[in-house]
A and B are shown apart, each in its own frame.
Chain A
Amino acid sequence: MSPGAASPIGLPLDRVDGPHKVSGSATYAAEFQPKDTCRALIVQSRIAAGRIARIDTRAAETMPGVLRVLTHLNVERLPQQGRAAVKPPAGREMSLLQDDAVRYNGEPIAVVVADTLEHAQEAASHIEVAYERGPAALDFEAARGGAYPPRKTVRGPPDTTWGEGASALDSAPVRIAATYTTPYEHHNPMEPHATVARWEGDRLTLWDSTQYVSGVRDTVAKTLGIPTGNVRVISPFVGGGFGCKGSTWSHVMLAAMAAKAVGRPVKLALERPQMFGPVGGRPRTEQRIELGASRDGRLIAVCHDVISHTSSFEDFVEVATSPTRALYAYPNGSVTQRLVKLNLGTPTFMRAPGESTGTFAIECAMDELAERLSIDPLELRLRNHAEREPDTGRPWSSKRLRECYRQASRRFGWERRDAKPRSMHEGPWQVGWGMATATYPAHRQPAQASASLARDGTAVVRCGTQEIGTGTYTVMTQVAADALAIPVDLVRFELGDTRWPRAPISAGSMTVASVAPAVRAACTRLRDALAKQDRRWLDAADDAGRRSAWRALAASQPTATEAHGESHPDASEDEQPFAARSFGAVFAEVRVDPELGIVRVPRVVGAYSVGRVLNAKTAANQLQGGIVWGIGMALMEESLLDPSSGRYVNGNLAEYHVPVNADVGEIDAWMVDEDDTRFNPLGARGIGEIGITGVAAAIANAVWHATGRRIRDLPITLDKLL
């Protein structure tokens, strides 16, 4: 940045897309309405396993407004039975009507296309299906016996040991062992999935609610067997994703197939109940943890054995052992991941996959160990602070967890905690204080961006990334303005289009770490190129001077100057000489009604070590949102599976509980000062997921402190405390 110009990086800039969102002019996928668009509706199976013996669509086809009913009997045959792009865990096994098999209750088995949604719905109810039922595995407990190791996980092989492994437990003077369980959950972003598909000759345009426009393009092109260049995916706004919009699920392809079949653009928007099954969810987990320590609280060994569920046709691993491998300085350890196959839709990444479920288990276990040792839970963590990554011995790129513990415990008032359970009260309420460590790995992938100066003085910066509500438009505007040394309002950042330079999936909390360096590279090139022409804007004394010099420069250009930039990590994550991870310390207060079992969370305090913060407002917003979700995970969130049919019975937002305002007390969350330039040139590690981690454990630990009861099975509903 030029002398005198204050960098906009780090400032709590309001969302640049805020006015669009509140005025309704932000266009979400289902709001695109190409000419002649008709509606498609997915018909779902009503059994969990077997085959379609007969499907009668004759009545439906003759109903008013109906254009076509697609079933396995008449749908286009896709290359490799629709499996050409299958590459778990990114390329999912879809249900594309290529055969008569039924693998879970709620699997797409037909698509009705009609002029209106109401006509499609009415026709759908006149489709008659006769099934031949097969045996269905729906009982997690019963399936445990058949648990098997997956071939791999996103964190490497399913089993890892270091030091002496589990055998080191034998020599530990103090040991605790416990089993923790977490339920089926579903993402439920405010905006359900939606796709609008339009064919023009052999070229396909998709308006899709997705966390990964390039991923959708590649998957759809490959599955259809057409050139990638023939598919364009557009996604300017996404009403939340949290992982469920990271993969290309069946409905996207079915929309494209339906549009082709009827020769008209087709809109396919999932209904809320359809969010429970065909588009992933958080797997159920059962986690056994054993910790061994010396009497003065030095950890000697950890064992963490996880069983999670997957579908009958694809392996998805909830790597709940991941945080355990990173959290403490245990010289010995052994972690295992196992899967059980159930006749359910394939689960997927859900905000802080692995880390949210895993931190619940390991951070509750640490609390149980602290209790056994009569050591303060915070002190136990400090004694075992990991100066290096425990399982690999690599140093951290940067880690300020000690500072998080210090700041958050002080703000919370932790030193006033009476260690004894049931010792604190407020009127009739039992009060409990609990804490946990939060953590989430830092990821980064290659990304590209372009920047150009338009004649009206707007710097147009483009990148095929996504805005999933995290603030990408705003933060990238700040990064661009900083590199170009111009005020932020002169930047227009465009995203969500496969015509723009390629960017990675908006997931894994890596958008800032991946995209910001590319944006900066493109803008730096543009600045350098422009400076050669006329560098007066760089030397201007104030914003007004910069603005007018920049405008003059823009107007004097014969053609728009354009620059490209790209950025990538120096090595793959495993080959980096350092380990990169974010950490945090979260403290929770609960009040428990001792008679009725009601739990309230009046306050949560968290401090986070997440690298450099590019926008203080959107960053804090991510942390707060994560903490709110953590409260829900702790106390209420659960998809209830009907044991005989394999349907989730509470598939709507009235009976699937997430926190409402009244459930959320005071949230005090902030980022400690840090700059992790070892990880990437901007020094940022990403912030989207860490907020949820540790919260459920902190609350469960607080519930123990309030009541003396360890609830190891989420959610902590009041019946478990009666």
Chain B
Amino acid sequence: MQPFAYLRADRIEDAIAASGPDARFLAGGTNLVDLMKSEVERPLRIVDISRLPLDRITETREGGVRIGALVPNADCANHPLVRERHPLLSRALLSGASPQLRNMATTGGNLLQRTRCYYFMDAAFDACNKRRPGSGCAAREGRNRIHAILGASEQCIATHPSDMAVALAALEAVVEVHGPRGARRMPMEDFHRLPGATPQRDTTLEPAELVVAVEIPPGSFARASTYLKVRDRASYAFALVSVAAALDLRDGRVHEARIALGGVAHKPWRAREAEALLRGATPGEAAFDAAARASVAGARPYRDNAFKVTLAQRTVARALRVAAGIA
């Protein structure tokens, strides 16, 4: 492990001022510290943000839910506001990692956790554009059963591993960040990015920018939503494919639909075309199957992950049925 300086910030401004390209914020540490031990991350400065006053869940004036960046995943999943209004998020969180990890993991850290691409996580591999820009992508010709089928690039086919982010994408949450140039807010959609030619960047966050909260706008999805995660063992495994499905059902029709997929792309994958197909449709197998097909339109699998196209499609159809209560 490379020697580093350790600073603990008591105020948001101090954390931002202490940060920079060679620094990393330390929240729960469950991802960062692992990556430092394996020398994938080699920061010169650690800015410990775990004491910042960002550990509250509150209701916004508009009736939304605001989740502080340092709220532990376990607390978030079990908070009454989250359980009642956004059970989808609660389910997504509880499907992730293990109780011990969820006690440590935070909102901000969860969104900013790095990919589980094998070649990214093992510094012994030279070719990883995400870890060493311009070095190539070992996964393309390597073991890529867990990799992306949508939105990947020549340079990188990694997926984003977070379950929470998938739920937040479906709920159209807004991320609030503070940085050297002040505060800004962006929809989840614009927070993570596709790899393109610069896979070293997972998100649109600028150096020294700190996530302070996510806000979920009020919605009418609580009654007809679910998070369905498919993985290689019953618990404590990352998603091969996951689906956050939420329906606003009115008068026997789909008023609005949200579908986001995890495990298939470099970011939570909003299936907007599928959502459009569902709008106004009668909930049922026919409509859901059509939406499922549309969800994987344009999918491009690699050597080991062709199964994900079928799996993603079936998982979407199943999630929609479960959400609509007709499974």
Q: Which residues in A have some Cβ–Cβ distance to B below 8 Å? A: 44, 46, 118, 121-122, 125, 273, 428, 595-598, 600, 635-636, 640-645, 647, 649-652, 654-655, 657, 659-663, 717-719, 722
A122 touches B119 (CB 8 A): no
Instruction: Give chain B interface residues in 108-131, CB to chain A under 8 Å.
Output: 116, 118-119, 121-122, 124-125
9 contacts between A and B (CB under 8 A): A596-B314, A597-B311, A600-B234, A642-B118, A642-B138, A647-B124, A654-B238, A655-B116, A660-B233
Binary CB contact string for chain B from 195 to 215 against chain A (1 if under 8 A, 0 otherwise): 000000000000000000000
Question: In the assembled complex, which residues on chain A have CB atoms less than 8 Å from the CB atom of B118?
Answer: 640, 642, 649-650, 655
Say yes or no: is B63 at the interface (Cβ < 8 Å to chain A). Answer: no
**In the complex, what's the smallest C-beta–C-beta distance from A510 to chain B, in angstroms?**
33
Query: In the complex the two chains form, what is the Cα distance from A657 to B232 in whole Å?
Result: 8
| Residue contact B230 to A644, C-beta cutoff 8 Å | no
Give the Cβ gap from B8 to chain A, nearest Cβ, in Å: 20
Do A722 and B233 have beta carbons less than 8 Å apart?
no
Tell me the B221-238 residues at the A interface (CB within 8 Å). 230, 232-238
CA distance A287 to B138 in the complex (A): 31
By the criterion CB–CB under 8 Å, are B311 and A718 in contact? yes
* Shortest beta-carbon distance from B326 to chain A in Å: 12
B6 at the interface (CB under 8 A from A): no
Q: List residues of chain B with CB within 8 A of the CB of A642.
A: 118-119, 125, 138, 142-143
Asked if B298 is at the interface of the complex by the 8 Å CB criterion, the answer is no
Q: How many Å lie between the Cα of A273 and that of B123 in the bound state? A: 12
Tell me, in angstroms, the Cα distance from A654 to B234 when the chains sit together.
13
Residues of A within 8 A of B122 (CB): 273, 647, 649, 651
CA distance A121 to B1 in the complex (A): 6
Collect the chain A residues with CB atoms within 8 Å of residue B141's CB. Answer: 643-644
Nearest 10 CB-CB pairs, A to B? A649-B118, A662-B234, A719-B307, A662-B235, A663-B234, A660-B236, A640-B143, A46-B124, A595-B314, A642-B142
- Among B2, B145, B232, B327, chain A packs the most CB atoms within 10 A around the CB of B232
With contacts A663-B234, A718-B307 known, what are 10 further pairs, Cβ within 8 A?
Answer: A121-B39, A273-B122, A642-B143, A643-B142, A644-B141, A645-B125, A649-B118, A657-B233, A659-B233, A719-B307
User: What is the bound-complex CA distance between A722 and B116, given in angstroms?
Assistant: 24
Q: A661 is contacted by which of B2, B38, B235 (Cβ under 8 Å)?
A: B235
Closest A-chain residue to B317, C-beta based?
A: A595
- Whether B220 is near chain A, meaning CB under 8 Å from some CB there, is no
Q: Take A636-B232, A718-B240 as given contacts and tell me if A649 and B1 are in contact as well, using a CB distance cutoff of 8 Å.
A: no
- CB–CB B2/A125 < 8 A: yes
Within the complex, what minimum Cβ distance (angstroms) separates B157 from chain A?
14
User: Smallest CB–CB gap between B320 and chain A, Å?
Assistant: 13
The verdict on B315 contacting chain A, using a C-beta distance below 8 Å, is yes
**Interface residue from A125, A652, A717, A722 paired with B232 (Cβ < 8 Å):** A717
Q: How far is the CB of B98 from chain A (nearest CB, A)?
A: 8
Contact partners of A645 in chain B: CB under 8 A: 125, 138
- What is the CB-to-nearest-CB distance from A355 to chain B, in angstroms, rounded to a whole number? 24
User: Roughly how many angstroms separate A641 CA and B311 CA in the complex, as a whole number?
Assistant: 24
Distance in angstroms between the alpha carbons of A649 and B38 in the assembled complex: 13
Contact A662 B233 (CB under 8 A): yes
Chain A residues with Cβ below 8 Å from B233 are 635-636, 657, 659-660, 662-663
Q: Determine if B318 is an interface residue (Cβ-Cβ < 8 Å).
A: yes
In the docked arrangement, what's the CA distance between A657 and B237, Å? Answer: 8
Determine the chain A residues whose CB is within 8 A of the CB of B235 once the complex forms: 660-663
CA distance A273 to B37 in the complex (A): 12
Task: Report the Cα distance A661→B235, complex, angstroms.
Answer: 8
Q: How far is the CA of A650 from the CA of B120 in the complex (A)?
A: 11
